[in-house]
């Protein structure tokens, strides 16, 4: 008997083989070459090169919006540095920490200690004990040679926001340790107190958004690895690139569009990926994004959305006051205060789910906030009621 999977792989003609290697479209995939980021990578190298001469490198900060290649560039520079260091027998470690996974100073330091061969429990010690254990690694030459450590703190905004700048203080004041921070916001320094800014003394590297042509280059490189030859119609990559250029030059979004378009073509058993698949991919991604955001909101915030949905259906102009009444009706006893609702409204607006518009009612009547839904009404309804 033949094997159905093998038949499919070996070109059963009723089956269209779209992908050559889908893993190369995965978020975690690190390409061998990062086009249009040569300059930024060279800048990182220019600072890190000190470590090859036993000098602690400057601290570096990478800034740029989502999908501008910050994470990829830092990992690329890390691979390159570790490669030359091992050949030159320089004792350097580069540890990558994603601050969405390690959200406190304690967790980051414990993780670093563990990576460097010192056991620290995930909880239970005082912060002082962890800090001392960490510093000890560099004091005692635990490895017999002068160890240098570069810590990549990716998505650092989250950690600073939640836990303060203690982690930067500790790291920048430990001998032989250098930090590369990655931030999505240009004003990230506002989260840092001056006592830290002076010891951080960092070099800044900006990652500008990609333009449509640059995104096209990135997608062409990637498509060669991931799709079978001749599968993509000629307007597919230009369209993905143009759409992503509008979304603030986000390469992740461009790659997501391409991947989803490919999957849709595969599901349809289509021979080619077409611009129509790209348009469908766009809807699918937006749909998933909105339902992801809504389903992970805190309960009270979901109730606020539910109230907005009800009022929208009644075709009412939604003022904050009306919204609050409707919300209280829904929540009954555990309703939060009117003031809290304003915070919720702000957050929902930041997430792009609603918009607000302040209008003046005329002299002496003050101003009113008008709230409008910005996502698809049916999508909101199905998501809310499926929770």
Ligand X SMILES: Nc1ncnc2c1ncn2[C@@H]1O[C@H](COP(=O)(O)OP(=O)(O)O)[C@@H](O)[C@H]1O
Which residues make up the interface to ligand X (CB under 6 A)?
27, 31, 34-37, 64, 66-72, 218, 251-252, 255
Between 113 and 153, CB nearer to Mg ion: 153
* 278 vs 371 by CB, closer to ligand X: 278
* Residue written as token pair 């490669």: 83
| Residue 31: CB minimum distance to ligand X, A | 5
Q: Which is nearer to ligand X, 18 or 72 (CB)?
A: 72
**Taking CB under 5 A as the rule, does residue 172 contact Mg ion?**
no
d(CA 321, CA 315): 16
Considering the complex, what minimum distance in angstroms separates the CB of residue 308 from ligand X? 30
Least separation in angstroms between residue 207's CB and ligand X is 6
Alpha-carbon distances, residue 310 vs 323, 329, 337, 378, 386 (angstroms): 10, 11, 20, 12, 16
In the complex, least distance from residue 180 CB atom to ligand X, rounded to whole angstroms: 12
Candidates 5-13, 34-42, 66-74, 288-296: pick the segment binding Mg ion (CB under 5 A): 66-74
Q: CA 170, 175, 180 angle in degrees (round to 5)?
A: 65
CB of 316 to ligand X, least distance (A): 39
Considering the rule CB under 5 A, would residue 71 count as an interface residue with Mg ion? Answer: yes
With respect to ligand X, which residue has the nearer C-beta, 54 or 224? Answer: 224
> Which span sits near Mg ion by CB under 5 A: 63-71, 222-230, 245-253, 273-281?
63-71
- 324-341 burial by CB neighbour count: b if 16+ within 10 A, else e? bebbbeebeeebbeeeeb
Whether 331 contacts 341, CB under 8 Å = no
Q: Which of 68, 13, 18, 11 is nearest to 41 (CA)?
A: 68
Closer residue to ligand X (CB): 27 or 139: 27
Among ligand X, Mg ion, none, the one that 37 touches (CB under a kind-dependent 5 to 8 A) is ligand X
191-250 residues in contact with Mg ion (CB under 5 A) are: none
CB 69 → ligand X: shortest distance, Å?
3
By beta-carbon proximity to Mg ion, the closer residue of 75 and 322 is 75
Tell me the closest approach of the beta carbon of residue 71 to Mg ion, in angstroms. Answer: 3
Q: Is 61 in the site for Mg ion (CB under 5 A)?
A: no
| Closest residue to ligand X in the complex (CB) | 69
57 or 69, CB closer to ligand X?
69
Of Mg ion, ligand X, none, which one sits near residue 251, judging by CB under 5 to 8 A according to partner kind? ligand X
How many Cα atoms within 13 Å fall on the side-chain side of residue 311?
A: 24
**Binding residues for Mg ion (CB under 5 A):** 71
């Amino acid at each position: 008997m033949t094997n159905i999977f093998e038949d499919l792989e070996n070109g059963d003609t009723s089956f269209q083989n779209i992908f050559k290697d889908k893993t190369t479209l995965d978020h975690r995939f690190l390409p061998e070459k990062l086009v249009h980021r040569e300059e930024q990578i060279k800048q990182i190298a220019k600072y890190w090169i000190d470590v090859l001469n036993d000098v602690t490198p400057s601290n570096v900060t990478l800034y740029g919006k989502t999908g501008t290649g910050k994470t990829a560039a830092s990992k690329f520079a890390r691979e390159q540095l570790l490669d030359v260091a091992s050949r030159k027998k320089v004792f350097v470690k580069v540890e990558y920490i994603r601050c969405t996974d390690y959200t406190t100073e304690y967790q980051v330091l414990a993780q670093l200690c563990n990576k460097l061969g010192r056991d620290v429990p995930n909880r239970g010690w005082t912060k002082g004990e962890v800090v001392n254990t960490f510093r000890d690694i560099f004091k005692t030459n635990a490895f017999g040679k002068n160890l240098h450590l570069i810590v990549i703190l990716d998505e650092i905004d989250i950690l600073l926001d939640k836990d303060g700048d203690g982690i930067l203080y500790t790291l920048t004041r430990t001998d032989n340790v250098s930090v590369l921070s990655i931030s999505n916001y240009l004003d990230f320094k506002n989260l840092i107190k001056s006592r830290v800014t002076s010891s951080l003394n960092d070099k800044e590297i900006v990652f500008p958004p990609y333009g449509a042509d640059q995104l096209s280059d990135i997608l062409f490189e990637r498509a060669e690895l991931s799709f079978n030859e001749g599968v993509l119609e000629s307007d597919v990559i230009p369209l993905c690139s143009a759409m992503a250029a509008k979304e603030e030059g986000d390469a992740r979004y461009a790659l997501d569009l391409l991947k989803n378009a490919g999957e849709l073509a595969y599901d349809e058993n289509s021979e080619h990926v077409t611009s129509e698949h790209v348009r469908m991919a766009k809807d699918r991604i937006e749909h998933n994004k909105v339902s992801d955001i809504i389903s992970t909101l805190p309960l009270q915030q979901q109730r606020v959305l539910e109230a907005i949905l009800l009022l929208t259906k009644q075709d009412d102009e939604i003022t904050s006051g009306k919204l609050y009444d409707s919300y209280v009706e829904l929540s009954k006893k555990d309703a939060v205060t009117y003031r809290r609702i304003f915070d919720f409204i702000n957050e929902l607006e930041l997430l792009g789910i609603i918009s607000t518009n302040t209008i003046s009612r005329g002299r002496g009547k003050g101003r009113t906030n008008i709230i409008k839904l910005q996502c698809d009404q049916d999508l909101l309804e199905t998501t809310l009621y499926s929770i």
